[in-house]
């Protein structure tokens, strides 16, 4: 994974050096968690959480219709879900993470009217978790706290895998130096480590807890606004 990230960063650097348009991108994002534990021993009630993204935007046309864009983003993700074992008290779980994300897209330009262009795009996003926190409490009248985790969540000895690869697709509406984008990305790699059992220990009624494989993927919907400077002028 680390080798892939290094190769990708080198590719983005090469694109940025030859970029025809440079600018800024930022906006709103809505993250939906997809947690899974093998054996169906936990019921989840996933809830989407609001966040933001902001960073640099780079654009390069390699054909009169096709091009390549890259972004370097700082993002905040919020996710939330209720978890409970078949007969246990429900626990409300909330996670906030801050990430460094590098999406790379191939796009096609379609002129819809004078000065206006719509560009569907598709490509991977390479993401690196920076830091974050977990909060959990019992879903009872007094909302008894269960846990607060504020130290580094990432690494093999912690809760989350730091590196993520996602697939992303969307479209951008362009007018002169301005742009508006809508996109959706879905994580393709597992974000949770196998030692982490989603807040509390997994039940051991039929087999050791370590036999319950755990998975967490994120889907992220983004609305972005872009402003670019054309370096060819």
Q: Which CATH architecture has domain 2-230?
A: Beta Barrel (2.40)
Buried b (16+ CB within 10 A) or exposed e, 164-192: bebebebbbebeeeebebebebebeebbb
46 neighbors 83 (Cβ within 8 angstroms): no
- Residue 156's pLDDT is what? 63
Give the residue extent of every domain in the chain: 2-230
Per-residue tens of pLDDT for the chain, all 233 residues: 555 555 555 555 555 545 578 999 999 999 999 887 776 667 777 889 999 999 999 988 887 789 999 999 999 999 988 776 555 567 788 889 999 999 999 999 999 888 899 999 999 999 999 988 888 777 766 666 666 766 678 866 678 899 999 999 999 999 999 999 999 999 999 988 877 656 444 444 444 444 567 788 999 999 999 999 987 76
Q: CA neighbours within 13 Å on the CB side: how many for 4? A: 11
Contact 99, 130 (CB under 8 A): yes
The pTM (predicted TM-score) of the whole model is: 0.83
Separation CA 227–CA 70 (nearest Å): 14
Residue 62 three-state SS: coil
């Amino acid at each position: 994974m680390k080798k892939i990230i290094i190769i990708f960063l080198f590719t983005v650097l090469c694109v940025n050096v030859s970029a025809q348009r440079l600018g800024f991108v930022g906006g709103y994002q809505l993250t939906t968690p997809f947690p899974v534990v093998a054996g169906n021993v936990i019921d989840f009630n996933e809830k989407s959480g609001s966040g933001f993204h902001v960073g640099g935007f780079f654009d390069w046309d390699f054909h009169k219709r096709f091009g390549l864009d890259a972004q370097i983003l700082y993002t905040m993700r919020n996710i939330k879900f209720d978890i409970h074992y078949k007969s246990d008290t429900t626990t409300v779980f909330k996670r906030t993470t801050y990430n460094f994300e590098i999406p790379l897209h191939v796009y096609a330009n379609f002129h819809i009217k004078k000065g206006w262009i719509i560009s569907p795009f598709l490509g991977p996003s390479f993401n690196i978790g920076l830091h974050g926190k977990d909060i959990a409490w019992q879903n009872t009248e007094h909302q008894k706290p269960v846990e607060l985790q504020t130290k580094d969540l990432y690494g093999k000895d912690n809760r989350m895998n730091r590196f993520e690869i996602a697939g992303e697709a969307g479209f951008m509406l362009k007018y002169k130096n301005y742009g508006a984008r809508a996109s959706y990305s879905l994580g393709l790699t597992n974000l949770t480590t196998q030692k982490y059992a989603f807040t509390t220990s997994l039940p051991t009624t039929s087999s050791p807890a370590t036999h319950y494989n755990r998975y967490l993927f994120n889907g992220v919907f983004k609305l972005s606004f872009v402003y670019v400077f054309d370096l060819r002028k």
